[in-house]
Each structure stands twice: as C-alpha cells, then as structure tokens.
Amino acid sequence: MKKYILALDQGTTSSRAILFDHQGQICGSAAQEFPQHFPQSGWVEHDPNDIWQSQLAVARKVLHDNHIDAHQVLAIGVTNQRETTLIWDRKTGEPLAPAIVWQDRRTADLCDDLRAAGKAKKISDISGLELDAYFSASKLKWLLDHVPGARAKAKHGGLAFGTVDSWLVYKLTGQHVTDVSNASRTMLFNIHLMRWDYDLLHLFDIPESVLPQIVSSSEEVGNTHPGLFGAAIPVAGIAGDQQAATFGQACHKPGMVKNTYGTGCFMLMHLGRHPVASHNRLLTTVGWRVDGETDYLLEGSVFMGGATVQWLRDGLGIIRSSAEVEELAASVPDSGGVFMVPAFVGLGAPHWDAYARGSLFGLSRGSTRAHIARAALEAIAYQSAELMTAMQKDASIPLTEVRADGGAARNDLLMQFQADLLGVPVVRPLVTETTALGAAYLAGLAVGFWDTQEEIAAQWRCGRRFEPAMGADQRADLLSTWARAVERSKSWTD
C-alpha cells in the first residue's frame, strides 16, 4: 500500500489536514473554519475544544475522503498558530479558560510595567524576543492571575500550560510536550541554553510545574490513541507555523528568506547554527532542531495580513468572500491615494506599538470600495517591505529573492505589488501549502520517509516568479507616504 505523511495545520482561523506523498505532493486536503471571539476591544479568544474538534474532524475527513487507511500513514506532523496560550486540568484534560490568541493585547500594560522596570533588554537577551503582549508569557501570567483556582491547581501540579501544538499533541497522544520552535515563542525559553529559563519564569511568576517537556522538531513523541483514526499513528514532527513554512520552503541555508501571507505576515531569514541579535526590533528565534542540530532564524512579524481581507468581508461587508478581493482591487489602476494601516490589534515589527489602531487615510469623494480593497492589499505588502528593510540592516546580507507562501500568496496582484516594493523577485512555489509541508517533512525525516534535508530541498519547485517593475522614485514616494500613515496611527489608544 502507498504510504503517506499526514500534516495537521492548526491556524488562527481554520484547521487543515493535508496528506503528502514521498514526492512532497498533496494527495488530499480538508479544512474547516472555527469561531473567533472578541469579548472586549483588543481581546481575541478561541475555545480550545473548537481547536481540537475542528482539527480532529479534518484529519478524519481527509483520510475518509481519500480512502486512506490509518496504517498507510507513517507519521503525523503538527504545525500551529504560535504564542496562543492555553491551560487545562491534568486529570480531566478539560480547558480551564478560553485560549488567549497571539493577537490579543490585554497584557500590554503588564509589558509596559516590565519595560518601565528596565527588564526589556534582559528578556530580549535571553529569549531573542521583543517585550510585547504578543508572546505567551504575559498571557499565561494573566490566566494564572485571573482564572479562579488556576494558581492553586498549578501549585499542586494539577495544571498544564501549552501553546496549540502542546494542546493538540496532548489530545492526540496524552503526552505533554512542546518542540523547541514553539518553546522559543513563549518568552520563557533560553534560546542559547535551549531550556526553560528560571529568571524569566520568576519574572513572569510562572511555576515550572505547568510547563511541557521540550522535544526536538523531528522525533517520535508518542502514538495517537487508536480510537481516533482506527490505528495508532506516531506523532513525529512539531513546529510553529512560521518555522514549519521556512522548512517547507527549503530555506535551509543562511541568507534564504521566506514570507508567509496568512492571517498575519511573517518574514523569516535563515541565520545558521548561531543566533544573531537584532538591532532593528526583529526577533531572533529557534527555527528547528533536527538530529541534535539547532537552526536559528531572524523574524519580522505583521499582525494583520490576510486578516485584513477578512475584515473587508466580515467587518465592512464590501466583499462576500476573501477570493473576491483581487478582482475588486484590480478594477481600479491604483488605490487612488488611499492608504490603510491595519493596526486593528496594534503594530508588530519593527514598531511594536500595542496602542496603534487601524486607520484609513487619503479618502476623497471619489474613493470607492475598490480603492479601499486595493489599499488593504497594498497594506499587506507595505508592512512586509518594512520587515525586509530591517532584516537587511540586521543581517547585512543582500537579498536576491523572497519565497512567498500562505493563502494570500495566491493573489497575483498582491505578489506583483510586493515585488515592486521590495525591488527583488517574489517567488511562489508550486506547492503553496508550505506550512503543512514543512511539518510533514519534519515528521517524515524522523521515521525515515525522507533521508536528508538535501533530498527535501531538491523537491522544491517554482510555481511563478514575480519580477519588480516599479521605478525607484515611485517606490520611494509610496514608502514615504506609507511611513507617514503609520506614524499617524501610532499610540491611538491609552
């Protein structure tokens, strides 16, 4: 019987399951959206059971629809929305509270207090991260302080914390683990010593008893409960979504860059086997650990990428589906001077302003919904251009191309505008589901489905290459106007 790797790709707005064969080709997929909850301004929550049930449902569906027996699946790779923070009861396995999503800003004040106390540099030196509510540490502290009985349960060893990978692996296998890539996004992990850091735990008042065991990104960590799929399947790969996408894009060598256009946008550069501190407010993060070797990445994070298009659909109602945005945006030659700064949940790198808010500038009586749609797409590209500028300053490596993936990377208008702003080609691979592919590769390496990273890199294929066509003066003018719009969006809320 033909063998497969099953990738579980748990994202911010949907759960996916994709089957890959030995050639790295997609042999079946299933996806399901799940509810988003916004109980207060700046708060974003998920029901942990929605995460699990949607992920389980699509995993079962892709096997059923493609007539795949569980015995044909050699391993499962898990990739996930990062930083999102969950707590659950160790005995019952039931969540104690809604998951606090990575976009949530409720702990911005706590981070401000730590910054005022002079702790930001120490945190950055140890974790590689910018002190911000984006990461898990402040979210976990908030849960321990505000969920009735949480600290008492933690004190007696009855509470488990995890990011989404930990939650899924726990539900699949009963094991409480996280891999190094996800651990490095908690702000509780020492990226130099590759372990939980006692100083950071003390700083955020986190008891060590709640933490998962740290494992490599490519190793067998447990078998699924036989009743889930009809047979026990090894879970053998775990990586945060952006690290998984970088691995799936075969950016395995220093200087290679990928940008994922998902709910947010995430540009990552491979640094090699040694971390490099950022001087431009980017993040130094663990990429993956395979065969005892750790690879590091430099990362820039944009909070609102494809989610900006979702807002056009769900908030403004000017499109009925996300797929309509390209046609609407292309119905006008440009944005008509309209600029959108989609700081709905603050600004990420390189600004890190938790109090910025979304703004529209340059509106006139001639502005239409098409101009707003185009401005929304262009905003995704502007934000990514800022990341690349900061990245080149940090790494001192001239970029020759950017490999693009994620749902919004299928938008040709966006990809061309991105190439124009960057001044380097944007290359879209033949297989755009690189996040799931990366998780599959990591799992497949662990069970011998693939032998080496070189074998994996040889499977990468270009789907389309977008060459820059914009003049330098026009590029500079647009980026200058964008910078003005960003500055006027900053520090909007108290």
Question: According to the model, what pLDDT value does residue 392 have?
Answer: 84
Query: What distance in Å separates the CA atoms of residue 454 and residue 192, rounded to the nearest whole number?
Result: 26
pLDDT digits (tens, 9 = 90+) for 265-293: 989 999 889 888 888 889 999 999 999 99
Cite the annotated binding site by residue number. 12-14, 16, 82-83, 134, 241-242, 263, 306, 310, 407, 411
> Quick one: average pLDDT of 91-108?
94
Which of 258, 291, 254, 290 lies closest to 275 in space, CA to CA?
254
Which of 8, 11, 7 lies closest to 310 in space, CA to CA?
11
pLDDT digits (tens, 9 = 90+) for 411-462: 999 999 999 999 999 999 988 889 999 999 999 999 999 999 999 999 999 9
Cite the annotated binding site for glycerol by residue number. 82-83, 134, 241-242
pLDDT digits (tens, 9 = 90+) for 290-310: 999 999 999 998 888 888 998
Instruction: Write down the CATH number for the domain with range 4-242.
Output: 3.30.420.40
Query: What distance in Å separates the CA atoms of residue 304 and residue 299, rounded to the nearest whole number?
Result: 15
pLDDT band at 13 (very low <50, low <70, confident <90, very high): confident
Cite the annotated binding site for ATP by residue number. 12-14, 263, 306, 310, 407
Buried b (16+ CB within 10 A) or exposed e, 126-148: bbbbbbbbbbbbbbbbbbbeeee
**Sequence spans of domains, the chain:** 4-242
For the chain, the C-alpha Rg in angstroms (whole number) is 21
> Quick one: average pLDDT of 84-91?
96
CB 188 within 8 A of CB 136: yes
| Mutual angle of helices 241-248 and 434-446, in 10-degree steps | 80
Extended beta strands in 169-313, E state: 177-179, 189-190, 195-196, 213-215, 218-223, 234-240, 257-261, 265-272, 283-290, 293-302
Cite the annotated binding site for sn-glycerol 3-phosphate by residue number. 12, 82-83, 134, 241
Question: According to the model, what pLDDT value does residue 19 have?
Answer: 97
Cite the annotated binding site for ADP by residue number. 12, 16, 263, 306, 407, 411
DSSP letters along 284-310, please? EEEEEEETTEEEEEEEEEES-SHHHHH
Q: Would you say residue 312 has pLDDT above 80?
A: yes
pLDDT digits (tens, 9 = 90+) for 181-190: 999 999 999 9
pLDDT digits (tens, 9 = 90+) for 200-215: 999 999 999 999 999 9
Q: Would you say residue 478 has pLDDT above 90?
A: yes
pLDDT band at 93 (very low <50, low <70, confident <90, very high): very high
